[in-house]
Structure 1
């Protein structure tokens, strides 16, 4: 069985991260979004790895099979972004999604982040169940912090209070 390693992203991972995320967005879910429309993909370090934020990849056999980002939005709050797992690596038996989320939440707690928010689309039904199973509660868009980076495709929002 191939071992999955979760580690902070490096600048050299940019193309592999985009190669993971774009097909899921565009082909699997039919979201018409380009790499250029996601400037965070071009500068993971500058966008995520600042303040209490970070970005991690799950790597198996030298390939990036998962990603998750935490963006510091100030006020002890952060946004969970870019959580994607390659289709072949989904499911509890692989543990990739859970490992990525656990890594992010451990990091956030160590950074004294009080609340983690996320936005997702109506289509990501498995993601909704996953977040809810992990303690996230749905919130109205109006309840989001002013600094939360809402994406045009986001229609469902969640919050997790830490500690």
Structure 2
């Protein structure tokens, strides 16, 4: 199968597509009671994620956003992995969209002297739990998170990877 897509740094021209993709996955696929208003960062990606040692990337095919990932700078050479979502049609090892997005974030972390990447996720995202563990993340308790880590109200599973 010939499937061409690119991983690109976020630009505001994609803001609506990013919001639509994330909200659809959260609300429709996983029945998570979360709104756009609960996530004001979706309207301010450049000023929230693309500062300090943070950034935000998109997987794009033919001008359409099919995946997202971001790193939020939380200080002390640590970041929070946020907004990792892939359109249902492009998930899995056949396409490698999630893997390439994660690799982009980890490469950025290594290039920017990041020591640890932390993330929080919901119990519903079981495939994501397996994906993170398969890619070197270890589970930890919320008490082990840095005090600056922003815990979302829907998150209760947490992971970390150390970079060198």
For residue 96 of structure 2, what is the aligned residue in structure 1? 95
Q: Give the SS at the match of 2:155.
A: coil
> What runs of 5+ residues in structure 2 fail to find an aligned partner?
none
Deviation at residue 12 of structure 1 after TM alignment: 1.2
Deviation at residue 36 of structure 1 after TM alignment: 1.4
Deviation at residue 61 of structure 1 after TM alignment: 1.4
> What runs of 5+ residues in structure 1 fail to find an aligned partner?
none
Q: Deviations over 1:12-58 (max 9, x none)?
A: 11100011100100011111111111011001001100011000000
> Using the alignment, how far apart are the partners of 2:148 and 2:15 within structure 1?
25
Q: Structure 1 residue runs of 4+, over 2 Å off?
A: none
For residue 7 of structure 2, what is the aligned residue in structure 1? 6
TM-score, with structure 1 as normaliser: 0.99
Q: Give the SS at the match of 2:23.
A: helix
For residue 119 of structure 1, what is the aligned residue in structure 2? 120
TM-score, with structure 2 as normaliser: 0.98
For residue 83 of structure 1, what is the aligned residue in structure 2? 84
> Using the alignment, how far apart are the partners of 2:112 and 2:137 within structure 1?
19
Deviation at residue 7 of structure 1 after TM alignment: 0.5
1:33 lines up with 2:34 in the alignment: yes
Deviation at residue 2 of structure 1 after TM alignment: 3.3
> Using the alignment, how far apart are the partners of 1:63 and 1:23 within structure 2?
15
For residue 151 of structure 1, what is the aligned residue in structure 2? 152
For residue 139 of structure 1, what is the aligned residue in structure 2? 140
Report the number of matched residues: 163
For residue 73 of structure 2, what is the aligned residue in structure 1? 72
For residue 109 of structure 2, what is the aligned residue in structure 1? 108
> Using the alignment, how far apart are the partners of 2:98 and 2:3 within structure 1?
16
Deviation at residue 62 of structure 1 after TM alignment: 1.2
